[in-house]
């Protein structure tokens, strides 16, 4: 596979790869290391890129790279998803967007998103920020589409609960 | 659909992942159910909120390191390619192999020209010297190269000179002159002619980029851009006759 094709296919997605890695790791320096390793891997495995979706393919490699680093350091505890789905129903809200937007600046949203377990955080980032379809997310995260759907649903419930002006709010920085 | 069914499909509905039938069923239910409508609104509002979270673009240093890392590997592969070509020449011998290797060198050069053009746009390193004045750009190369590239401004015919930089092609330093055409960029690589293999190359199109090559007074010129070929031809003709 000629190297120039790699440069033109993969490098345009470097920002997206870094954004994803940054949200996974919550750490600038680590995200840089992950993306750099991932790009070297991507170069090596470039011939395994079958379809046109280089961005989702790169996300998969970024994710694998990060997981192998995390498990090597045996800090996977942070990365595992403890299954404690809350069923906090939203209370009455005449204009939910206005209310949410009034009370939450960007820093708060970021903090709330970072507080989510990584399995929830990443599906929201891939869906809302990167605009991937459920099918693409399923391929990146390597779970069935049904699991993607339920993770997204629960991630949103948690985030809503965290951002609501309720008792849980005070726990946010 | 009742509220329970809708609730199960709420996120897929918001994300437009339902098939047409289910999508319509949810929509019908929403029309008559303020409660479920509120949940949809809430999720859409949340989506907008999440999209307002910071987007972290790759730091410049990382981009440079990745480019360097991947092109180092690329260079390694190149050497393997050259070694293979050399073996071919030695083992097969004769004119055919020599012709083939010249053609392969030409192809590799065209690829390098396009690659260099793309890199200059991606890495945001288009200029070392940014100027529309040919009398600023030409002297800038003095002392940096062992030749002096001819520099002309073609602003009068709609191709303003915008700057220049040092670049490398096939391992040799070259002068890169940058011209603009509307929002498009044209790179012109100039160096002393070193390989007659490229003489046969006139114009090529590679992955949406047009490449023109010519020689003049012992100098080799490569023009590359994504402007349409008619315009690039006009540009090249103007350079050749200036």
- Helices marked H in chain A: 3-10, 14-25, 28-44, 54-72, 76-79, 96-103, 106-115, 118-124, 134-141, 145-163
Q: Check residue B159 and report its DSSP letter.
A: B
Q: Please tell me the distance in Å from A145's CA to the nearest CA on chain B.
A: 11
Kindly report, residue by residue over B150-200, the tens digit of the pLDDT.
Answer: 999 999 888 999 999 998 887 788 999 999 987 788 999 999 987 776 776
- Is B59 in contact with A90 (Cβ distance < 8 A)? no
Q: Helices H, strands E: what count in chain B?
A: 7, 7
The rounded distance, in Å, linking the Cα atoms of B117 and A81 is 45
Contact residues on chain A for B6, CB-CB shorter than 8 A: none
**Cβ-count burial A58-78 (b if 16+ within 10 Å, e if not):** bbbbbbbbbeeebeeeeeeee
Q: ipTM > 0.85?
A: no
Per-residue confidence in pLDDT tens, chain B, 242 aa: 889 999 999 999 999 899 999 999 999 999 999 999 999 999 998 988 888 888 888 998 888 888 877 765 555 555 555 555 555 555 444 444 444 566 777 788 888 898 888 888 876 677 888 888 888 888 888 888 888 999 999 998 889 999 999 988 877 889 999 999 877 889 999 999 877 767 767 888 877 788 999 998 889 999 999 888 888 999 999 998 88
Contact residues on chain B for A163, CB-CB shorter than 8 A: 46, 49
CB B228 within 8 A of CB B181: no
Closest by alpha carbon to B164, among B172, A4, B153, B155?
A: B153
Q: Please tell me the distance in Å from B205's CA to the nearest CA on chain A.
A: 15
Mean pLDDT of A86-96: 43
Closest by alpha carbon to B163, among B192, B193, B188?
A: B188
Closest by alpha carbon to A37, among A67, A71, A81, A75?
A: A67
Q: Please tell me the distance in Å from B49's CA to the nearest CA on chain A.
A: 7
Mutate to test the interface with B, among A1, A6, A11 (most CBs of B within 10 A): A11
CB pairs A-B closer than 8 Å: 135
Contact residues on chain B for A110, CB-CB shorter than 8 A: 53-54
Q: Please tell me the distance in Å from A92's CA to the nearest CA on chain B.
A: 9
Angle at A117 between CA A111 and CA A123, to 5 degrees: 90
Which chain B residue is nearest to residue A24, measuring alpha carbons? B56
Which residues have CB under 8 Å from A63's CB, separation 6+?
A20, A24, A122, A140, A141
Q: Give CA A108 to chain center in angstroms.
A: 17
Which run of H or E residues covers position B181? strand B172-181
The rounded distance, in Å, linking the Cα atoms of B154 and B226 is 18
- Is A18 in contact with B45 (Cβ distance < 8 A)? no
Torsional sign, CA A30, A36, A40, A43: positive
Angle at A68 between CA A14 and CA A121, to 5 degrees: 60
B216 forms beta bridges with: B219
User: B33 to each of A80, A156, B136, how far by Cα in Å?
Assistant: 38, 21, 70
Kindly report, residue by residue over A117-139, the tens digit of the pLDDT.
Answer: 999 999 999 998 888 889 999 99
- Is A11 in contact with B65 (Cβ distance < 8 A)? no
Contact residues on chain A for B49, CB-CB shorter than 8 A: 100-101, 104, 109, 163
């Amino acid at each position: 596979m000629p190297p120039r094709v790699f440069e033109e296919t993969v490098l345009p997605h470097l920002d997206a790869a870094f954004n994803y890695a940054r949200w996974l790791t919550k750490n600038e320096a680590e995200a840089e290391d992950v993306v750099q390793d991932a790009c070297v891997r991507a170069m090596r495995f470039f011939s395994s890129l079958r379809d046109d979706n280089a961005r989702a393919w790169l996300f998969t490699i970024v994710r694998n790279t990060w997981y192998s680093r995390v498990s090597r350091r045996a800090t996977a505890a942070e990365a595992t998803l403890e299954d404690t789905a809350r069923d906090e129903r939203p209370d009455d809200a005449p204009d939910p967007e206005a209310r949410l937007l009034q009370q939450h600046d960007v820093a708060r949203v970021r903090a709330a998103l970072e507080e989510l377990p990584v399995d929830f955080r990443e599906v929201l980032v891939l869906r809302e920020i990167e605009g991937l379809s459920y099918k693409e997310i399923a391929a990146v995260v390597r779970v069935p589409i049904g699991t993607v759907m339920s993770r997204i649903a629960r991630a949103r419930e948690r985030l809503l609960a965290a951002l609501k002006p309720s008792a849980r709010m005070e726990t946010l920085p | 659909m009742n509220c329970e069914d809708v609730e199960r499909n709420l996120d897929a509905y918001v994300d437009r992942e339902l098939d047409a039938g289910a999508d319509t069923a949810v929509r019908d239910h929403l029309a008559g159910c303020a409660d479920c409508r509120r949940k949809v609104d809430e999720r859409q509002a949340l989506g907008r909120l999440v999209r307002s979270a910071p987007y972290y673009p790759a730091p410049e240093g990382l981009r440079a390191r990745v480019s360097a890392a991947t092109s180092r590997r690329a260079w390694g592969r190149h050497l393997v390619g050259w070694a293979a070509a050399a073996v071919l020449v030695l083992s097969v011998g004769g004119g055919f192999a020599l012709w083939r290797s010249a053609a392969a060198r030409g192809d590799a050069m065209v690829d390098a020209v396009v690659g260099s053009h793309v890199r200059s746009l991606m890495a945001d390193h288009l200029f070392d010297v940014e100027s529309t004045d040919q009398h600023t750009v030409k002297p800038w190369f003095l002392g940096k190269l062992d030749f002096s590239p001819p520099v002309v401004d073609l602003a009068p015919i709609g191709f303003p000179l915008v700057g220049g930089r040092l670049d490398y092609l096939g391992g040799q330093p070259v002068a890169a002159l940058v011209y603009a055409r509307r929002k498009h960029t044209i790179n012109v690589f100039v160096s002393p002619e070193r390989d007659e293999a490229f003489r046969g190359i006139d114009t090529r199109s590679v992955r949406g980029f047009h490449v023109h090559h010519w020689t003049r007074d012992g100098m080799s010129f490569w023009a590359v851009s994504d402007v349409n070929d008619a315009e690039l031809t006009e540009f090249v003709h103007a350079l050749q006759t200036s």
